[in-house]
Structure 1
Amino acid sequence: MPLVSTSSPSGAQATPRIIEVAPERLSAWLAGFAERHGGEPPRGVPHSVTAPDGVVARFDYFDHDPFGVILVRRGGYAVGRVRNGRLLLHKVGTRYVQGKTAAGGWSQQRYARRRENQADELVTAVADHAARILVDLAHVAEETGEMPVGGIPVTPGLVVGGDRQLVGNVLSDKRLTSLRDLPRRSLYDIGDPNRAVLETAVKRATAVRISLGETP
């Protein structure tokens, strides 16, 4: 995977480049990083690596299990419960929410009210499914008492994506209070939720996020 420069022509520091690597490919990626930028591949589970040429890689892990998924856009939604990388329960659906209009006057106001009502119905539907599929998610780790090899207790997490405001509205439902404080990974760049998008979100949720930049 070629490295894209993270500094602008003027010398100002640019936004780091973010890539996602599947956990099983991380060792190979680290070996390639060392080959491209010098030094030796780090051992163990790295959180930050600085190469001799000044390139810095920072690692963000989402190693929570089980985890819930809530994806929602105005075209549809997907809610899932994942254990050991597999979807145990899920619900995918569509809800029509009208787009914005340039019309004015009373017509625009009626249109806006209709659009708002449709969005409220979408949020309620997603919250209903989340309450059914994910309601006890925050308590699973306490019940199982699982402990991975690294000695850190396994804890549940939450993956959200789609429209940021709609996701926030869903999580404001009082039935989902226990989900709000779970460790979270955001995927707001996904498309309209469907089964394929949900499965992609599950894979991306467990990927290692690597931020590539340069030393100041």
Structure 2
Amino acid sequence: MPERVLTVSPERLDGWLAGFAQRHGATTHRAGPDVVVVEAADGAVASCAVPFPPLENDDTEQPYDGLIAHATRERRIAVLLVRRGGYAAGVFAGTRLVASKVGSRHVQGRTAAGGQSQQRFARRREKQTREAFEAAADVAARVLLPHVAGLDAVVTGGDRAAVDHVLADRRLTALATLRDRTRNAPHLAVPDPKLAVLEATPATFRAVRITLSEPDVAP
């Protein structure tokens, strides 16, 4: 059966699962700490990645109530977005942004020039990049670290190498450790980190990712 991956907001998950059963027949499910697998009568399968696992239990009277309650729970999440020349750090309580800072530093683009001019340009660009990452680390330390004891998870986005460089700052060890322990969280693909981009991230990091396999329908 062909597979496709889709994302569903926690608030829509109950309706999506009900629609899955309506389309494919009676369902059964297996709940694990990281994934809930829903199988339908016609062979369709929906594997729901548990957001911010583990799912501690699913011992509820109604199917999927445990997953839905887990997905809709309000969590305190730190978000760090870094791209070359731009950065954003924020703390969310559920979908509400409670602390944030965004900024940018000029980093020159690439050039086709050669010789000594190219070497000078490369050194200047390297210095600008280093200063931009240092500024991003300063902001992460100022905005995120005061909340670290109460965080449920750290979510990152933008350029992976840039994020890793920033989190390598010794001040941010606690954030880096929590990021590495955050299972099933996507690395967010974002444009230049502006405030509006940061504010929109809960729609992605809270979403339930579902791998859907459906039987081919004969013409």
Of 148, 159, 165 in structure 2, the residue corresponding to residue 163 of structure 1 is 159
Residue 34 of structure 1 aligns to which amino acid in structure 2?
A
C-alpha separation between the residues in 2 aligned to 1:166 and 1:89?
22
Instruction: Out of 41-50 and 106-115, give the one that drifted further.
Output: 41-50
Q: CA deviation at 1:119?
A: 1.2
Of 98, 102, 105 in structure 2, the residue corresponding to residue 95 of structure 1 is 105
- Does residue 23 (structure 1) correspond to residue 10 (structure 2)? The answer is yes
Q: Could you say which residue in structure 1 is the equivalent of 2:136?
A: 126
CA deviation string 1:156-207 (max 9, x = no partner) = 1011000010000011010000012214323342111111111111232112
Q: CA distance change for structure 1 residues 117 and 29 in 2, over 3 Å: closer, same or farther?
A: same
Structure 1 stretches lacking a partner, 5+ long = 1-5, 8-15, 141-154
TM-score by length of 1: 0.76
Q: CA deviation at 1:25?
A: 0.7
- For 1:26-175, list aligned pairs within 5 A: 26-40=13-27, 47-60=36-49, 61-62=51-52, 65-140=75-150, 156-175=152-171
CA deviation string 1:68-117 (max 9, x = no partner) = 01001124211001123211110112222222222222222211111111
Q: Could you say which residue in structure 2 is the equivalent of 1:207?
A: 207
C-alpha separation between the residues in 2 aligned to 1:41 and 1:31?
12
Q: Secondary structure at the match of 2:200?
A: helix
TM-score by length of 2: 0.76
What number of residue pairs does the alignment pair up?
A: 188
C-alpha separation between the residues in 1 aligned to 2:152 and 2:46?
26
Instruction: Out of 192-201 and 62-71, give the one that drifted further.
Output: 62-71
C-alpha separation between the residues in 1 aligned to 2:193 and 2:31?
36
Residue 77 of structure 1 aligns to which amino acid in structure 2?
Y
C-alpha separation between the residues in 2 aligned to 1:69 and 1:208?
18
Q: Secondary structure at the match of 1:127?
A: helix
Instruction: Out of 183-192 and 117-126, give the one that drifted further.
Output: 183-192
Q: Could you say which residue in structure 1 is the equivalent of 2:176?
A: 180
C-alpha separation between the residues in 2 aligned to 1:98 and 1:17?
39
Residue 115 of structure 1 aligns to which amino acid in structure 2?
R
Q: CA deviation at 1:41?
A: 7.5
Preserved CA contact (<8 Å) 2:30 2:36: no
Q: Secondary structure at the match of 1:187?
A: coil
Q: Could you say which residue in structure 2 is the equivalent of 1:151?
A: none
C-alpha separation between the residues in 2 aligned to 1:136 and 1:111?
38
- What percentage of residue pairs aligned between the two structures are identical? 48
Q: Secondary structure at the match of 1:169?
A: helix
Instruction: Out of 156-165 and 70-79, give the one that drifted further.
Output: 70-79
CA deviation string 1:124-144 (max 9, x = no partner) = 11111111111143322xxxx
C-alpha separation between the residues in 2 aligned to 1:106 and 1:188?
38
